[in-house]
Each structure stands twice: as C-alpha cells, then as structure tokens.
Amino acid sequence: MDRLAAIEIFIRVVDTGSFSAAARHFNIGQPAVSKAVAQLEEWLGVKLLLRSTRALTPTEAGQNFYQRARRAVEETDEAVLAARGSAAGLTGKLRVSAAVCFARLHIVPRLPAFLERHPELELELVLDDRNIDLVEEGIDVALRMGELADSNMTARRIGEARRRVLATPAYFERHGMPQEPADLVAHRAIVYTRDFGGGEDWTFCSESAELAVRLQGRVKISATEGLRAAVFADMGLAVASEWAFSPELKSGAVVAAMEDWMLPTIPLSALYPTGRLASSKARQFTAFVEECLAPEFAPERLTARGKPGYA
C-alpha cells in the first residue's frame, strides 16, 4: 500500500463524507477507496471511520489523525511549491470562514480573479455570522470583523472601516437629517445587536467634543442581512459599518448623516488556527483579500483624531 496515497484518500473521504466522491476526485473505483481506508486502519491499528447507510463519521481517533494528516499533506504541498518557485499555482483545498453579508458583498464577487490565478485550487467558503472554532471546523483562515478577544491565534489586521449613521434618503426626507448626537433620540433606530455592533449606546467624537447617546429603537436585529433589509424598508436609521452598506453608500441608495461626528472603526483581521503554521494557500488568499479591499478599506487610509479606535 502507498501510505501517502491512502492518507490523501482518507482525507478526501472525510472532507466529502463520501467514498464515491473521493473515488471521483482521484478517478479510481469506489472499491479502491474502501480498500485504501481499510488498509490504513489495519496499519494504524485503530478504527478511523464509522460507516452507516446514511453517513460516514470519523471516530475520535480518525478525527485526530485527519487533522494531523491534513497538516502534513499541506506541509508537503508547501515544500513542492517552494521547490517549483513562486510562479507555480496553488493546489489542494482551502477552507475560509467569513461572515455571510461581508462575504457576499466583498469576497464572492472577487473570487473569479483569484480562482483564475490558481486553477488547481479548491475553495470552500464556510459562511457564518458566529465565530466558529477554526480547528474543529478545519478552517485554514478566518476573516473576522471587530476587536478580537484575547487569543493565542495568529492574527493580522488587513482592513478597517468607519461606522456611520445612515438611512435611506426617503427616511431622512420624512424625519429630518440629524446634525449632532442629541438629535438621534428623536429618531427611530434599528439596533444591531452583534458584539461588535455596539448595540444602543454610542459615544461620538468630534474635533472638540465627545458625546454619548442612547438610540431609541423598537427593532433589534442580530444579522447584518436583516439590518440591511430593515434600513432599505425605511424602518429607521442605523449605526452601521461601511462594510455592510458600501455599495449603497456609493450609489446613494443610503446616505450618511453627522459626518463631522466620528465613531470607533471596525477592523477586519485574518486569523489562522492555533498551533498551525499558516499555509501558503491561506497567506496568498489573505493577501488577495487585502489587495482587493485596499482602495476603500486599507487601515492606513483612516487618520486618527486624537482618540484610539477613532478615525
């Protein structure tokens, strides 16, 4: 048995959850896949997979072996890329975690250019507004917004966006345009409840003053897509990031108020799983995202106005 080939087959079986999908990928028969996994289990002396009529599930030993074997295969790929030189395209599988709305607006439309550069690369986007466990989910790189909690993960800040008070032109025509923080108490607000959203309480900073205000809102929403829909439905104004409304701010479908009053910015960071070196695939994908966002969301484009976290 070619152990490396068997390990790669096992990794593919776990990734796809299917012997037949792994067989199609390697262009071999399904019995050959089953035989390779069985021989690998015999060699290791442990059961790697639990088979049922509906699913394949790694055992605890199988999951541990999968994580380490996948890392070893990735490092082998790294060695091959290094030997071939930087001109070689990326190969294998890359799993990326990102928030749903952010990925839809800023990542997915730009993916064709990245995939064209690397025709042998498989990309899987794991879209979830929650902060999932990168190791448990087999994530190579995660794109996360907001200040990061203390962590021993490797992180690099690759973008930053302003928070702005915004609504549709129709809403402001009916209810007036707020000029300063105190004006907000007379407005209907849509409150975004995610941790990095800020909730109802905000502290605004200008060149000469700092004022705190509590938004008055009957509607609270925990997902960015819902916040966007509520704003477009003229349900109220929102304190939201440029990440969430960039296309509409450019087109005029939503407009920003109180531009002389600043709020803490929202950073975007690339995170790599604990205990793993960032693969070439993960690093190059991160660099690509940073390159795409640079004209609009580069951290250095925001100039601090005397208070950390403000721009």
Per residue in 30-87, pLDDT (tens digit) is 999 999 999 999 999 999 998 876 778 899 999 999 888 887 887 776 676 666 655 4
Q: Which domains does the chain have, with CATH numbers?
A: 3-67 (1.10.10.10), 89-161+267-301 (3.40.190.10), 163-264 (3.40.190.10)
Provide the 8-state DSSP code for 310: B
Asked whether the whole model's pTM tops 0.85, one would answer: no
Question: Alpha carbon of 288 to those of 113, 154, 158, 248, 292: distances in Å?
Answer: 9, 18, 10, 24, 6
The predicted pLDDT at position 307 comes to: 44
The predicted pLDDT at position 300 comes to: 65
The predicted pLDDT at position 114 comes to: 94
The predicted pLDDT at position 306 comes to: 38
Task: Tell me which residue of 63, 73, 54, 64 sits closest to 9, measured CA to CA.
Answer: 73
Residues of the chain with pLDDT under 70: 1, 53, 77-78, 80-89, 150-153, 195-198, 274-278, 300-311
The predicted pLDDT at position 294 comes to: 87
Amino acid, single-letter form, for residue 1: M
Question: Alpha carbon of 30 to those of 78, 136, 185: distances in Å?
Answer: 29, 28, 65
